[in-house]
Structure 1
């Protein structure tokens, strides 16, 4: 590891195979926590390359516990984290909204590393028990249209670095990897990123795969569509900048999306969105993220049609009913 660190400190880049080997060694415990923390720090001080990201991804996918749910042709909706905004669980709420609208979802998530509440935190608050049992996951898909995959159960490397990530409490390249290593390798993906270089990086990475995708970024730094500013959406076909007003939404303030100070706070906001008692800002930001996810699956539909489907899922109670069934099946 010493030679690798010297190489990186001299502003050199890793090749794809080299990055793959390094991550395999991390998973096998060949480096101590100080060395892993130093490696992580390098990628906070400079952008990760496509080759490095693909190499790290290759290692995690090779070491993953695979899950075959491809007959459902599901979508994953996820943000990289690390935007420092401490929003409530927008992508998780969007997942249940999309599932309630009739589209299969396989959510790959973890505990919050840089915010109060990650997807796994809010799931645990609802009594959900995480499982790696494929029969249970398939039952969840068949009965609820959604399955939840707690990342450490499927990726030993992510579990191995969890203490270092939590101790550092800053975004790391593992935030970047999480969305790329859903063990199902879903057909569709909506990914939120916290800056424009990452939007380009993921776009290049996805274009080299068979995934149908949209990468989104709010220009004021959110790793999701926040409706607090203009936002950019990149797909395999084009890139476009939207304003909230241009698609029929109000423009909101950062404080409107705050996730609170505790996991319990975040879970309460999540519940209010699902049961229809949230603020308009909280509801709208879930609707728009769900709408763009639906648009990835059904690109022939207009954005207006996708917004209407997402809004109807929440307003009709379908999303809430999906959540209740999911909790019952997975408790």
Structure 2
């Protein structure tokens, strides 16, 4: 049995970077069988290990990334991604991404297909006819053209693909709790900031430790007293920022505080999800849905540095919906042709 698996099962903390390096080496060489791969994922899912073990795991994956194209940091660009879990709603963070982009913020959205919900962000985008980008260069081009891009699987370590192939024909879906929790820290994109909603199903304290030890971007983690991974106008929300700074947003502070999850329900039929989502962007899904999306968009507006004042950020988001800009942006992106491939010089060759 590999030392990484032994360490997790025996709860020896931390499992170090060298041990994780050995795990990925043996996985790549075919030296780990399906049983060990499934056992490791099951252990990570049933009990997320300490933050040091996870930091070593993340660093062991980061150092295996291929040489990246020469590119500057995407100043003022913010990534929005959640941990999933919590009460069922429509895809609020995806809607907030469109609204913030329509308000002038450069937004990248990372995500996945559904692990713990009926419809993940990738599933929704597929129904909307919106393509994921397939490279960093293509993401840059899409950002330049539309102000928003939805990054494809290329942002995630290839070792996870190898892990999925090793456990096949077992699905990765049973391991969604672990994948959702760690996923926001795995995407490799040169954004300035990241806003991540954390549900009650995810270990907030552990993720806060990981956020503080991440040096490539500023990470805000949001949580609230309802257990959802979104900012909600009818909940007491906490934003955990850099250097342990927090901001609490109470009901009625930035928007009226009435409403409930009944106002945020997803479409009853997933085939109607795209149509319902467009009514949200048009402001026609009810005032609570609109307020919720605007609150989420405001977080992206402030995190990006576009506005410093939350009230003005909410107003900017409201105008992006009221003017039709957010709805029009989604339709333009769906109608846009696929970007032409672009080659950049590569470092580290």
Which bracket does the TM-score occupy, shorter chain normalised? 0.7 to 0.9
* C-alpha distance in structure 1 between counterparts of 2:331 and 2:288, whole Å: 23
CA 1:200/1:42 → structure 2, altered by over 3 Å: closer, same or farther?
same
* C-alpha distance in structure 2 between counterparts of 1:140 and 1:299, whole Å: 20
2:153 to 148, 151, 154: 151
TM-score (ref. length: structure 2)? 0.83
Find the counterpart in structure 1 of residue 12 from structure 2: 12
Q: List gaps (5 residues or longer) in structure 1.
A: none
* C-alpha distance in structure 2 between counterparts of 1:278 and 1:122, whole Å: 17
How far apart are residue 78 of structure 1 and its match?
A: 0.9
CA 1:314/1:115 → structure 2, altered by over 3 Å: closer, same or farther?
same
Choose between structure 1 and 2: higher helix proportion. 1
Kept in 2: contact 1:20–1:57 (CA 8 A): no
Q: Bigger CA drift: 28-37 or 275-284?
A: 28-37
Q: Bigger CA drift: 255-264 or 143-152?
A: 255-264
Find the counterpart in structure 2 of residue 142 from structure 1: 144
* C-alpha distance in structure 2 between counterparts of 1:275 and 1:230, whole Å: 26
CA 1:7/1:56 → structure 2, altered by over 3 Å: closer, same or farther?
closer
Find the counterpart in structure 2 of residue 70 from structure 1: 73
Find the counterpart in structure 2 of residue 313 from structure 1: 320
* C-alpha distance in structure 2 between counterparts of 1:92 and 1:24, whole Å: 36
Q: Bigger CA drift: 200-209 or 270-279?
A: 200-209
CA 1:34/1:75 → structure 2, altered by over 3 Å: closer, same or farther?
same
Cα deviation code 1:200-222 (max 9, x no counterpart): 33333233314223210122211
* C-alpha distance in structure 2 between counterparts of 1:271 and 1:28, whole Å: 46
Q: Note if 1:202 corresponds to 2:204.
A: no
* C-alpha distance in structure 2 between counterparts of 1:324 and 1:91, whole Å: 18
Kept in 1: contact 2:74–2:192 (CA 8 A): no
Aligned counterparts, 1:49-128, within 5 A? 49-64=50-65, 66=68, 68=71, 70-81=73-84, 83-128=85-130
Q: List gaps (5 residues or longer) in structure 2.
A: 339-349
CA 1:102/1:85 → structure 2, altered by over 3 Å: closer, same or farther?
same
1:191 to 177, 191, 196: 196
TM-score (ref. length: structure 1)? 0.87
1:221 to 222, 227, 230: 227
How far apart are residue 161 of structure 1 and its match?
A: 4.5
Kept in 1: contact 2:8–2:49 (CA 8 A): no
Find the counterpart in structure 2 of residue 267 from structure 1: 274
Find the counterpart in structure 1 of residue 304 from structure 2: 297
Find the counterpart in structure 2 of residue 39 from structure 1: 40
1:247 to 240, 254, 258: 254
Kept in 1: contact 2:3–2:19 (CA 8 A): no
How far apart are residue 35 of structure 1 and its match?
A: 2.7
